[in-house]
Amino acid sequence: MVGKQLAGRYKLLEMVGEGGMAQVYRGWDSLLNRAVAVKVLKEQMTGDSAFVKRFRREAQAAAGLSHPNIVSIYDVGEEQNVHFIVMEYLDGKNLKQYIREKGRLSATEAVSIAARIAEALVEAHAAGVIHRDIKPQNIIFLNNGQIKVADFGIAIAADGTTLTCADKIIGSVHYFSPEQARGSLAEKRSDLYSLGVILYEAVTGQVPFQGESPVSVAMKHVQEPVTVPSKLASDLPAPLERIILKAMQKDPGRRYLSAAEFLEDLRYFQREGNSRAFTTPLFGSDDDETRVMGPLPEIRAGQKQEEEDDRDGKESAKKKNRPLIVAIVFLSVALIVGLALFYYFFINVPEVEIPELRSLSYEDAVEILKEDGLVPNPEVFYVHDNAIPEGHIVKTVPFQGRTVRKNREIDLYVSKGPENVPAPNLYLRTEDEARIILEGLGLKVSWVREHNSDIPEGKVIKQLPQAEAMLSPNEEMVVYVSLGVKPILIAKLVGKHKNEAVAYLDQEGLRPLLRYEESEEPADTVIKQYPEAGEPVQKGQQVDLIISSGPPPEEEQAAGEDEEEPED
């Protein structure tokens, strides 16, 4: 698909991502001269006409969303059975990368990010659009600090049905709501559960449920209570914990009623440092709730009554207490064994130093990590790098040189090589406009100025390479700027005959203005000129020529001579 042009204007430059149902390309809109992201439905998905209809309907619904925290969708189309969505191109990192780099976020920063995501959900839900794949990978940090929620293009309308692919729910299992994991219809509060999971990961540095397979993770969302985040982040404020736990209730009816209510509680926490969420976390059905035993005085009163009724029945009381004793012993042994296993597997783990992998090939890096007892993350992060060759390691997270426990998962960032960009079309733009465009793209440039009789001064005449040619950051563009019409350096006309001088001026497009003066030079000879020889003039400019009318008449001269002649 790279190099293909869709709808006569969207050129696909490189693939930057791939999901279960679509591939995402960085593209160039030749009509508006801007970078775009183009999401193309996979070929195997286009055979289901009902699916394609839903895909187009839902993309068009998402295109109607307009909010500063939602990625804009510019166009939806189909060409030769290629179904595509054109979106705003984002230059930044996603929230998953940001959390991995920082380890975990402060409560203040996490709530600020969550509030902006909630604002986007309020807008979408009000328009009847459910995202259903809220995850950190879909939250983009732009270079100017703005946050955008992406991938509303695979969202579903609130009255639609869940999109599926080969009987598998499309989405990200670590951020699934329990109802999505069960295959039920996603609803607005499913997005709130996923946002709760993002908040959990942001403040603890890890997702709430992990497993050996997507199925096992999905089952944990449905069946297992979540570890309260304060056990992983002891400094977590209790009100924020309540917010997270309310959003992550397994029963949708116990979550926030709406994104607006969730947002209001986040803002209340920002203002007051408190929350209106439940003070006691509840999970699953009533059978899963924490049970409270009766007060000890009731038991003692029963024992006292029993002793009063039968003081000789001590043996009977011991028999009744025997199961309790057995249970206590069993729990004590289990606790000791559990502590021993915890110590062996989690505390008493050898530490290793993350090796230097920069510039190594991905395959070599994986091999070295395994030899050192570390686990390469199966999810590879691809980034552009001007120095590291494609397919080689740019960095690791945690960074090389850090000491970590064995079996720690290590993120590998692999180079995609230099980020090529299409040369913009600068023809007839002013020099200032061209400079702004080129600086925005980070391209090197050489400026050449030359005269041109057709292009006004200060505008671009041509460029090398031409528009839309792909440029690497190390390549240089040459931009030619017009100096306007080339000036004429006027020739020396003094001493030439009048007719010859006038013919020259006509040929050069100049306007002669003739004036006559008496002179000793022969008649019709140019004796003076303005501008003088060698000075620059423009076409249409006036040139003054002083022409000799010849010497004074002879009779006047003779009369003068006679007057001066002395008398004999």
* pLDDT value at residue 236: 94
Residue holding tokens 């994986």?
Answer: 366
Sheet holding 147-149, edge to edge: 92-94, 139-142, 147-149
- Read off the pLDDT of residues 507-545 as tens digits, 9 standing for 90 and up: 989 999 999 999 999 999 999 999 999 998 888 899 999
Q: Which residues of 90-125 are buried (b: 16+ CB within 10 A; e: fewer)?
A: beebbbbbbbbeeebbebeebbebbbbbbbbbbbbb
* pLDDT value at residue 293: 31
| Half-sphere exposure for 413 (CA within 13 Å, toward CB) | 17
With residues binned 3-state (H G I as helix, E B as strand, rest as coil), the percentages for the chain, rounded to 5, are 35, 25, 40
CATH number of 351-415: 3.30.10.20
Going by C-alpha positions, the residue among 380, 338, 372 that lies closest to residue 356 is 372
Average of pLDDT values for 354-358?
91
Catalytic residues: 133
Instruction: Please give the single-letter amino acid code of residue 300.
Output: R
Going by C-alpha positions, the residue among 380, 360, 382, 385 that lies closest to residue 371 is 360
Q: Which residues of 141-152 are buried (b: 16+ CB within 10 A; e: fewer)?
A: beeeeebbbbbb
Where does 69-135 show beta strands of DSSP type E?
73-79, 82-88, 92-94, 129-130
Going by C-alpha positions, the residue among 229, 58, 75, 202 that lies closest to residue 141 is 202
- CATH topology identical between 5-88 and 421-482: no
Asked if pLDDT for residue 212 goes beyond 90, the answer is no
Using a pLDDT cut of 90, give the percent of the chain over it: 40
User: Are the CB atoms for 561 and 538 separated by under 8 Å?
Assistant: no
CATH number of 421-482: 3.30.10.20
Residue holding tokens 């709501």?
Answer: 177
How many residues are listed for the chain in this entry?
Answer: 568
Fold of 490-554: Trypsin Inhibitor V; Chain A (3.30.10)
* pLDDT value at residue 211: 82
Report d(CA 86, CA 10) in Å as an integer. Answer: 8
**Structural domain boundaries of the chain?**
5-88, 92-285, 351-415, 421-482, 490-554
Confidence bin at 495 (pLDDT 50/70/90): very high
What H or E segment, with its residue span, contains residue 404? strand 403-405
Instruction: Please give the single-letter amino acid code of residue 308.
Output: E
- Token readout for 378 is 């199966």
Q: Which of 41-50, 135-144, 177-186, 476-485 has the highest mean pLDDT?
A: 476-485
* pLDDT value at residue 486: 85
Maximum distance among all Cα pairs of the chain, rounded to whole angstroms: 191
Dihedral-angle region of residue 373 (phi above 0 means left; psi in -120 to 50 means alpha; beta otherwise): left
* pLDDT value at residue 522: 93
CA 168, distance to chain mean position in Å, is: 28
More confident residue, 160 or 380: 380
**DSSP secondary structure letters along 347-398:** IS--EEEPP--TTSBHHHHHHHHHHTT-EE-SS-EEE--SSSPTTBEEEEES
Average of pLDDT values for 161-174?
48
**DSSP secondary structure letters along 217-269:** HHHHHHHSPPPPGGGT-TT--HHHHHHHHHHT-SSGGGS-SSHHHHHHHHHHH
Residue holding tokens 């160039």?
Answer: 28
Contacts of 520 (CB under 8 A, 6+ apart): 548, 551
pTM of the full structure: 0.51
The architecture CATH gives domain 5-88: 2-Layer Sandwich (3.30)
Confidence bin at 348 (pLDDT 50/70/90): low
Confidence bin at 288 (pLDDT 50/70/90): very low
**Which residues are registered as beta bridge partners of 497?**
525
**Which residues are registered as beta bridge partners of 476?**
444
Confidence bin at 74 (pLDDT 50/70/90): confident
- Read off the pLDDT of residues 292-320 as tens digits, 9 standing for 90 and up: 333 333 334 444 444 455 555 555 545 55
Instruction: Please give the single-letter amino acid code of residue 394.
Output: V
- Read off the pLDDT of residues 105-162 as tens digits, 9 standing for 90 and up: 999 999 999 999 999 999 999 888 888 889 998 899 886 778 999 887 554 434 333 3
- Read off the pLDDT of residues 465-494 as tens digits, 9 standing for 90 and up: 998 888 877 678 999 999 988 888 999 999
* pLDDT value at residue 343: 56
Pairing of strands 444-450, 351-353: unpaired
* pLDDT value at residue 22: 78
Q: Which of 10-19, 56-65, 181-190, 453-462 has the highest mean pLDDT?
A: 453-462
Report d(CA 52, CA 401) in Å as an integer. Answer: 49
- Read off the pLDDT of residues 81-106 as tens digits, 9 standing for 90 and up: 888 999 988 878 889 988 988 899 99
φ, ψ for residue 437, nearest 5 deg: -65, -45
More confident residue, 54 or 303: 54
**Which residues are registered as beta bridge partners of 29?**
10, 34
Name the average pLDDT for the chain: 81
User: Are the CB atoms for 27 and 36 separated by under 8 Å?
Assistant: yes
CATH superfamily assigned to domain 92-285:
Transferase(Phosphotransferase) domain 1 (1.10.510.10)
- Token readout for 263 is 């947002």
**Which residues are registered as beta bridge partners of 536?**
489
Orientation of helix 259-272 relative to helix 238-247, angle to 10°: 170
Identify the sign of the CA torsion 381, 382, 383, 387. Answer: positive
User: Are the CB atoms for 225 and 233 separated by under 8 Å?
Assistant: no
φ, ψ for residue 391, nearest 5 deg: 85, 0
- Token readout for 119 is 């604002």
What H or E segment, with its residue span, contains residue 11? strand 10-18
Instruction: Please give the single-letter amino acid code of residue 409.
Output: E
- Token readout for 4 is 């293909």
Asked if pLDDT for residue 408 goes beyond 90, the answer is no
How many angstroms separate the first and last alpha carbons of the chain? 116
Beta-carbon count within 10 A of 201 CB: 24
